[in-house]
């Protein structure tokens, strides 16, 4: 995708129009954003211009118990905060006088070309945020021209979500009983998933104290969760039968943080790695993903794509992740906030915000395309 300065201005204007549309829809549905949790200045201005604006607006719409699940992290939430803070602490050092009159943001992942490197990470139970659930998310992904990774904890069956045809559609797998899991993988592939992303960082759940205090319970009868406990400690050998069940569809691993795990992952046939600490929801005091990323990238040496999630709230965060070697990034909570505020259009708006900010950041650092983004634009941390 080629973008010039006029395109960026148009994008910002369009985002303002989308925000106005969201306010109109809120009035029509008797769902006001005028909530005690939203600062008065936001209520007066009414503009949804940033991811944080959407977060505040989403909190006014989401059931408080569900909010404690969506927004919380593990234990003291140090990793949850560190994911964001580590991005903010990393400084940019721009190049000047480079031709950035036209910017391209295209990336290619496992043979699929996307117009930008911002994907939707797997997150659970989207009907907690909006009645359309994962169908609304998939529509938003299509509108935003982005890829979507559907969670095993989806509230909508995989085949129904796939019908919305996002530009790229992967399925995230929690390994459960072997027979059940094999059937689930095959069903996802039949439905159109072009990759399976196996979550490997959850042999048990973390100390999720906020959601415990709120007495949060997952919805009953989720279509891809069996009646038994979903946590299942994996070993490298398990990837053999998972890959067999996938029938040639690439299998990625989600939850890589230690560089020593790269070689075993590639030896086991991983087609890609996702640097993730589960959004700060499992092991508290764990390393922030942007800090773990460089060592993983160095160990991979370009053999497979490396994606990263956790803490991305600005287009400059996307730029920093790419500069540290990520092939693409994934966002989780931000698009759920967009979904809560305005359904599919809200998902699109959040992606558009980050995309427009990325283009501006690329221009301001002298990077006219994703391949031109490298560590030379990164300075010290604050």
Q: What is the pLDDT of residue 2?
A: 61
- Asked if 310 and 289 count as a contact pair (C-beta separation under 8 A), the reply is yes
SS3 state at 158: helix
Terminal CA-CA length for the chain: 33
Q: Which residues of 210-248 are buried (b: 16+ CB within 10 A; e: fewer)?
A: bbeebebeeeeebbbbeeeebebebeeebbeebbebbee
Q: What is the pLDDT of residue 227?
A: 74
DSSP letters of 48-93? Answer: --SHHHHHHHHHTTS-HHHHHHHH--STT-HHHHHHHHHHHHEEE-
Matching residue, tokens 């943080």: 257
Q: What is the pLDDT of residue 195?
A: 98
Matching residue, tokens 């390994």: 175
Q: What is the pLDDT of residue 358?
A: 98
In three-state form (DSSP H/G/I as H, E/B as E, the rest C), the secondary structure along 87-137 is: HHHEEECCCCCCCCCCEECCEEECCEEECCCEEECCCCCHHHCCCCHHHHH
**C-alpha dist (Å) from residue 248 to 113, 141, 240, 271:** 20, 25, 12, 11
Residue 112 annotated to the active site: no
Look up the CATH number of domain 103-372: 3.20.20.70
Q: Give kind and range of the element (H or E) at residue 144.
A: none
* pLDDT tens for the chain, residues 1 to 382: 565 545 544 544 444 444 444 333 333 332 222 232 333 233 334 799 999 999 999 999 999 999 999 999 999 999 999 999 999 999 999 999 999 999 999 999 999 999 999 999 999 999 999 999 999 999 999 999 999 999 999 999 999 999 999 999 999 999 999 999 999 999 999 999 999 999 999 999 999 999 999 999 999 999 999 976 555 689 999 999 999 999 999 999 999 999 999 999 999 999 999 999 999 999 999 999 999 999 999 999 999 999 999 999 999 999 999 999 999 999 999 999 999 999 999 999 999 999 999 999 999 999 999 999 999 999 988 8
- Out of 126, 130, 224, 278, pick the active-site residue: 278
Distance between CA atoms of residues 188 and 149, nearest Å: 11
Radius of gyration of the chain (CA): 20
**C-alpha dist (Å) from residue 258 to 82, 298, 299:** 17, 12, 10
- Asked if 319 and 373 count as a contact pair (C-beta separation under 8 A), the reply is yes
User: How is the chain split into domains, by residue range?
Assistant: 103-372
């Amino acid at each position: 995708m080629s973008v010039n300065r006029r395109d960026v201005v148009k994008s910002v204007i369009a985002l303002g129009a989308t925000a106005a549309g969201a306010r109109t829809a809120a009035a029509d549905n008797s769902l006001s954003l005028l909530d005690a949790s939203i600062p008065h200045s936001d209520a007066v201005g009414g503009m949804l211009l940033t991811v944080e604006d959407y977060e505040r607006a989403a909190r006014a719409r989401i059931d408080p118990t569900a909010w404690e699940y969506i927004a919380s992290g593990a234990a003291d939430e140090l990793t949850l905060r560190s994911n964001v803070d580590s991005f903010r602490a990393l400084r940019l050092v721009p190049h000047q006088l480079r031709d950035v009159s036209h910017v391209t943001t295209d990336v290619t992942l496992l043979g699929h070309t996307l117009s930008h490197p911002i994907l939707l990470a797997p997150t659970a139970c989207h009907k907690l945020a909006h009645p359309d659930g994962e169908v609304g998310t998939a529509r938003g992904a299509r509108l935003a021209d982005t890829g979507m990774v559907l969670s095993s904890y989806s509230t909508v069956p995989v085949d129904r979500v796939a019908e919305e045809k996002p530009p790229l559609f992967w399925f995230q797998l929690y390994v459960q009983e072997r027979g059940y899991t094999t059937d689930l993988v095959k069903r996802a592939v039949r439905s159109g998933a072009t990759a399976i992303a196996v979550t490997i960082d959850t042999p048990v759940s973390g100390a999720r104290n906020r959601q415990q205090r709120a007495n949060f319970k997952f919805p009953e009868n989720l279509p891809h969760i069996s009646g038994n406990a979903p946590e299942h400690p994996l070993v490298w050998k398990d990837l053999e039968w998972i890959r067999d069940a996938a029938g040639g569809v690439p299998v990625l691993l989600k939850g890589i943080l230690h560089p020593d795990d790269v070689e075993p992952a590639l030896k086991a046939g991983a087609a890609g790695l996702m640097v993730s600490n589960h959004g700060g929801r499992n092991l508290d005091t764990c390393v922030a993903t942007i800090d773990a990323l460089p060592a993983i990238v160095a160990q991979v040496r370009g053999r497979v794509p490396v994606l990263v999630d956790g803490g991305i709230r600005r287009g400059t965060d996307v730029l920093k992740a790419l500069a540290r070697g990520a092939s693409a990034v994934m966002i989780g909570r931000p698009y759920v906030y967009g979904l809560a505020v305005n359904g599919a259009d809200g998902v699109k708006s959040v992606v558009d915000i980050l995309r427009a900010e990325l283009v501006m950041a690329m221009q301001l650092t002298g990077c006219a395309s994703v391949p031109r983004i490298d560590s030379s634009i990164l300075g010290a941390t604050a």
